[in-house]
């Protein structure tokens, strides 16, 4: 027993000396191995040694956003999983739940986050936004209004925006992939 205690002391001292892998990194590593990426989602790590910052590209194969490639930045801070990942759309897109700065309104990224959720839940949630844009909890009020009042017009607006069109003085990014 005495041996174990002195061993433990040495380990504590060693831990103080070298910076250890953070809890967030360990947890993200586990999340990434459990990721079930479908053909419509792709991750990219600009710095392969940095698991906490990457991009996610969603290419919906159905719904009104079909044919587009939507790129999100995912930034995970050291409080993960106690804090949700920070997710932003890197393009200017026309979507009721994404504002023109790229902020995303998704309940599990905000008030409904809990540490037992993982990156897979976040990715699935994001993908769902492109299948079922939701007018009830809007960040882009114009888009939400259009979706509620005139679905056909909304779909037309989505098409225009995805081609890189200009609507109401807003220049949208071209997101169509060939």
Q: Which listed range, 107-115, 121-129, 133-141, 148-156, lies at the site for another protein (CB under 8 A)?
A: 107-115
Nearer to another protein, 33 or 39 (CB): 33
Helix (H, G, I), strand (E, B) or coil at 33: helix
Burial class (CB in 10 A: 0-12, 13-18, 19+), 161: buried
Interface with another protein: number of residues (CB under 8 A):
20
Catalytic: 89?
A: no
- H/E stretch holding 23 reads helix 23-33
Tell whether residue 177 is a contact of another protein (CB under 8 A): no
Which residue among 32, 52, 100, 105 is the active-site one?
105
Which parts of the chain are beta strand (E)? 41-44, 53-58, 70-75, 86-89, 166-167, 170-171
Q: How far apart are CA 139 and CA 122, in angstroms?
A: 18
Tell whether residue 120 is a contact of another protein (CB under 8 A): no
Tell whether residue 23 is a contact of another protein (CB under 8 A): yes
Tell whether residue 151 is a contact of another protein (CB under 8 A): no
- Taking CB under 8 A as the criterion, the residue among 18, 116, 168, 178 binding another protein is 116
Tell whether residue 15 is a contact of another protein (CB under 8 A): yes
Report in angstroms how near the CB of residue 107 gets to another protein at its nearest: 12
- What is the torsion angle, in degrees rounded to the nearest 10, for the CA atoms of residue 103, residue 41, residue 28 and residue 128? 50
Tell whether residue 114 is a contact of another protein (CB under 8 A): yes
CB 60 within 8 A of CB 170: no
Residue with tokens 């060693």: 14
Report in angstroms how near the CB of residue 115 gets to another protein at its nearest: 4
Which residues sit at the interface with another protein, rule CB under 8 A? 8, 11-12, 15, 22-23, 26-27, 30-31, 79, 81-83, 111-116
Task: Give the residue numbers annotated as catalytic, written as ranges.
Answer: 105
């Amino acid at each position: 027993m005495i041996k174990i205690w002195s061993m433990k002391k040495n380990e504590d001292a060693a831990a103080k000396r070298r910076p250890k892998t953070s809890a967030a990194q360990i947890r993200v590593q586990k999340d990434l191995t459990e990721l079930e990426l479908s053909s419509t989602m792709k991750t990219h790590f600009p710095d392969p040694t940095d698991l906490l910052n990457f991009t996610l590209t969603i290419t919906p194969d159905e719904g009104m956003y079909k044919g587009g490639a939507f790129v999100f930045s995912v930034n995970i801070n050291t409080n993960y999983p106690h804090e949700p990942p920070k997710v932003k759309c890197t393009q200017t897109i026309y979507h009721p739940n994404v504002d023109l700065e790229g902020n995303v309104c998704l309940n599990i990224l905000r008030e409904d986050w809990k540490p037992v959720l993982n990156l897979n839940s976040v990715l699935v949630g994001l993908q769902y936004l492109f299948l079922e844009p939701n007018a009830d909890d809007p960040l882009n009020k114009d888009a939400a209004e259009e979706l509620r009042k005139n679905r056909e017009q909304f779909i037309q607006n989505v098409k225009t925006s995805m081609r890189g069109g200009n609507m109401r003085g807003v220049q949208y990014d071209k997101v169509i992939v060939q």
